[in-house]
C-alpha cells in the first residue's frame, strides 16, 4: 500500500511554525511561495537560474 504525505513542514516565518495540510479543501497561492523559499534554502535554485539566464540588454 502506498503512503501519501498529508502535510509539509516549512521553515519558520517571523518565528512562527509553518505547516501545510492536504486534507482541507482550500488552496492558497502562498504555498507556492513557501515551497520556492524552501527550495532556495536547500539547493540555491534562484542563483542557479539567474546564472543560467543571460540578459543581453
| Distance separating alpha carbons of residues 22 and 32, to the nearest angstrom | 14
The helix-helix angle for 30-43 and 45-52 (nearest 10°) equals 80
pLDDT interval class at 1 (50, 70, 90): low
Residue 2 confidence (pLDDT)? 62
Closest to 38 in 3D by CA, of 6, 4, 5, 12? 12
Residue 22 confidence (pLDDT)? 65
Residue 4 confidence (pLDDT)? 59
Residue 41 confidence (pLDDT)? 83
pTM higher than 0.75, yes or no?
Answer: no
Amino acid at each position: 500500500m502506498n503512503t501519501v504525505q498529508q502535510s509539509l513542514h516549512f521553515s519558520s516565518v517571523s518565528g512562527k511554525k509553518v505547516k501545510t495540510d492536504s486534507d482541507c479543501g482550500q488552496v492558497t497561492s502562498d504555498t507556492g511561495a513557501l515551497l520556492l523559499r524552501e527550495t532556495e534554502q536547500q539547493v540555491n535554485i534562484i542563483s542557479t537560474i539567474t546564472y543560467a539566464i543571460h540578459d543581453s540588454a
